[in-house]
Structure formats: C-alpha cells, structure tokens
Amino acid sequence: MADWILVPCLVKLRSEFNTIAPNRDKESDGSIGDSAHQASQSDHNDDEVGNVPIHDADKIHEVHAIDVDVDLREPGLTMETVVQFLLKRCRSGAEKRLRYIIFNRRIWQQSNGWKQQTYSGSNPHDHHAHFSSSYTTSLEASTASWHLEDIPVALTSSDKSWISGEINKVEERVWGFRMRNPYTNVNQAASDFQRYAPSKQPLNDLSRQIAELSEQVAQLQKQVAALTMVQVD
C-alpha cells in the first residue's frame, strides 16, 4: 500500500484529545483500516487506492477517519461528554468538518441533520468513538481548533473539597479581622473597637468592604454549586 497520511483536521482532533486527556488509553485508537476494512467501503481506507465512499479532489493518499479510545482517564471527563459537545457544534453550524460520528451503538450523520440513530454494525463502538471527516479539500485540511478545551468538566470530590476550603479561608479572614486597641494594647474585633475610635468613618468604610467581600464569597459559593450540576446537551 502506498504511503498515506491522516487528513490534517483529524490530526488536530486527535491532538486535542491528547491535550485534554494526556493520560488516556490509546489501545483502541485507530486510523488506517485493517484487512477487514479494506474488504468493504470505509473512511478508514486510503482514498486513492482503497474502497471509500467519496473521492476527493487531490491525489494525496489520505485516510478520513479516526477511532479514539473511550477511556480518557480524566476525572469528570467522558467520551459521551466529548461526543455531545461536538454534536452541539455540528448542529449549530459552528463545526463542519465531520461527516458522521459512531459511538456506543449510535450514529449521528451530517446528511440527516445530526439526528441520533441506532447503529447496527457488527462493531458496537463501545470501546472507541469513530469520527469521519469531510472530503472537501478546505475542510479536511483545516487545522482550526475543535475547541475541546471548552468542554465543561464536572468537579471531582477533591475539587469540591479544595474550593470549599478556599472559601472557608476567605470567610475566616473576613470575619476574623482584628485591630489593635491603642488603649489596652490588645487586638480586638473591628466591631468591638468602634467605641474607642476617634472617628467612625474608617471603620464604617471597613464594614462596607467586609460586606462587599461577604457578598463576593456568597456569589462564589453559588458558582461552585452551579458547576457541580453542569451537564452538556
């Protein structure tokens, strides 16, 4: 078989998988088809000498499909999440480089508006996801970002514990702020110190700042709660 290359857009997609999931399992990864693929029409075949559904305009030996192992080994990140993220971009028109995706006994195709259908092929694609690219020269050659880095990732229990700890530290600093009483030379809570102050304006300003900080802490807590419930359509 002649030397071949994977179309650049899929090289970029695979690279972004490696970036968001650097420790992912690659056992079920694939590109060029084996003898079983060569015996039938497949985007895994060399488009110049193999059995492919479309022949593009160039004379370059290219493969227009990749398989990516489902085990991403990244807490809070699943292949289902990635697939649904890409489908959302495809349906909106933001992404046009894919022709179809197969994953876990389902197939989504550009030709039918990316509607989910049952996949009845012999391989259920439950160990890897299949991505087939466009044969249009400008699209297959595009190395623009697939934006996988924008995928919302669910917080792990460790993440939640760390964030809660940081919030508690802020609260302790806010409510534990103390000032030295020049009359008793003892550190006291700012509220207790007001009766000794020659002017209450600085302490009023401080109280306002503490209130603002408290509101920021409350907003941060709401954001954390929202993040724990993030779901991808």
- Residue-by-residue DSSP string for 80-131: HHHHHHHHHHHHHTS--SEEEEEETTEEEEGGGTT-EEE--SSS--SSEEEE
Same-domain check for residues 144 and 34: yes
| 233 belongs to a structural domain | no
Give the domain range for residue 134. Answer: 5-149
Measured CA to CA, the distance from residue 16 to residue 6 in angstroms comes to 15
State phi, psi for 139 to the nearest 5 degrees: -80, -45
β-pairing, 62-63 with 5-6?
parallel
Question: Residues in the chain, how many?
Answer: 233
Average pLDDT score over the chain: 85
At residue 210, the pLDDT reads 73
Same-domain check for residues 206 and 136: no
Q: Read off the pLDDT of residues 24-59 as tens digits, 9 standing for 90 and up.
A: 999 999 999 776 667 789 999 999 998 899 999 999
| 162 belongs to a structural domain | yes
Number of structural domains found in the chain: 2
- Residue pair 7/64 in contact (Cβ under 8 Å)? The answer is yes
Q: What is the pTM of this model?
A: 0.69
Same-domain check for residues 185 and 207: yes
| pLDDT higher at 130 or 208 | 130
